[in-house]
Amino acid sequence: MALINSKLRWTQPINVDDFNFIKNRTALLPKITIPGPCALHFRGGDATVLAHAYRDVGEFWDDTIEAFTKELSALAQAGCRYVQIDETAFAKFGDPDVQAMLRTRGDNWSQLIDTYITITNRVLRAAPKSLHIGMHLCRGNRGGQWHAEGSYEDVAERLFNALEIPFYFLEYDTSRAGNFTPLRFVPRHKSVVLGLISSKTPVLEDKAALRARVEDATRYVSLERLAVSPQCGFASVDTGNPVTPEVQEAKLRLVVELARDIWGEA
């Protein structure tokens, strides 16, 4: 359960130092990841918002959007051009147990999807136009464990069409994420990065099997609008996952080799 003990205020850049650290150590395009604007609300709902700091949920959302806008503006001013929103809620909405939990606390999970899309779109519209913003979705990534399971089917049509995100990073490393049929809702102007390689386990995936899965996904999204990646980061928290640095490197090399085999040199 989240706790909100004071009103939200952006006071200084949070990620600019991290961006500068990366920028000064690579000639490649740095990417900064930030939590989704709805993450805090998802953990407790309106009750958490109204328990101490706020009397009106709308004011909470306004403060959230203002804080995100200022942070994204600070990143853009520092020269950042690529931001990934980590939003686990949309993937978890497809889990029947999560739907039941939300009903128990008084939330209509389907209406909550619409609310979160509206809030996220407000953040996107207020963000500097120089930023390329994508969204990563997974179902938990802590110590090799996960929080939820279920297909994208229940959220796919709104996720890919109502949400104004141009490209998505989707967890697809295990059967817990379901199959690729929800991708039929992806419009032609959007792209999908298939998270086929697990960051949770040390088992190195078979490249031929991965290539077959990409081919399967092309039944719904054309190959030129697909890409591949790990399903999440190798360390969402300081404890990391049970994957050694050597295996992490091997998995990243596998991603590059798979991409070159399918799409050629970038």
Q: Per residue of the chain (266 residues), give pLDDT as tens.
A: 678 999 999 999 999 999 999 999 999 999 999 999 998 898 889 999 999 999 999 999 999 999 999 999 999 999 999 999 998 888 888 888 888 888 888 889 999 999 999 999 999 999 999 999 999 998 755 554 545 567 788 899 999 999 999 999 999 987 777 899 999 999 999 999 999 998 878 889 999 999 999 999 999 999 999 999 998 877 666 666 678 889 989 999 999 999 999 999 75
Q: Provide the pLDDT for residue 148.
A: 57
Q: Specify whether the CB–CB gap between 205 and 196 falls below 8 A.
A: yes
CA–CA dist 189, 126 (Å, integer): 21
Residue with tokens 């690579």: 26
Q: Provide the pLDDT for residue 32.
A: 96
Q: Provide the pLDDT for residue 140.
A: 58
Q: Specify whether the CB–CB gap between 87 and 135 falls below 8 A.
A: yes
CA–CA dist 38, 83 (Å, integer): 16
Q: Provide the pLDDT for residue 146.
A: 47
Q: Specify whether the CB–CB gap between 221 and 197 falls below 8 A.
A: no
Q: Provide the pLDDT for residue 246.
A: 93
Half-sphere exposure at residue 137, Cβ-oriented, CA atoms within 13 angstroms: 25
Q: Provide the pLDDT for residue 213.
A: 96
pTM, full prediction: 0.91
Q: Provide the pLDDT for residue 266.
A: 57
Q: Specify whether the CB–CB gap between 212 and 184 falls below 8 A.
A: no
The 3-class SS string of the chain reads CCCCCCCCCCCCCCCHHHHHHHHCCCCCCCCEEEECCCHHHHCCHHHHHHHCCCCCHHHHHHHHHHHHHHHHHHHHHCCCCEEEEECCHHHHCCCHHHHHHHHHCCCCHHHHHHHHHHHHHHHHHHCCCCCEEEEEECCCCECCECCCCCCCHHHHHHHHHCCCCCEEEEECCCHHHCCCHHHHHCCCCCEEEEEEECCCCCCCCCHHHHHHHHHHHCCCCCHHHEEEEECCCCCCCCCCCCCCHHHHHHHHHHHHHHHHHHHCCC
Tokens, residue 63: 């403060």
Q: Where are the domains of the chain?
A: 16-35+79-118+129-263
CATH fold for domain 16-35+79-118+129-263: TIM Barrel (3.20.20)
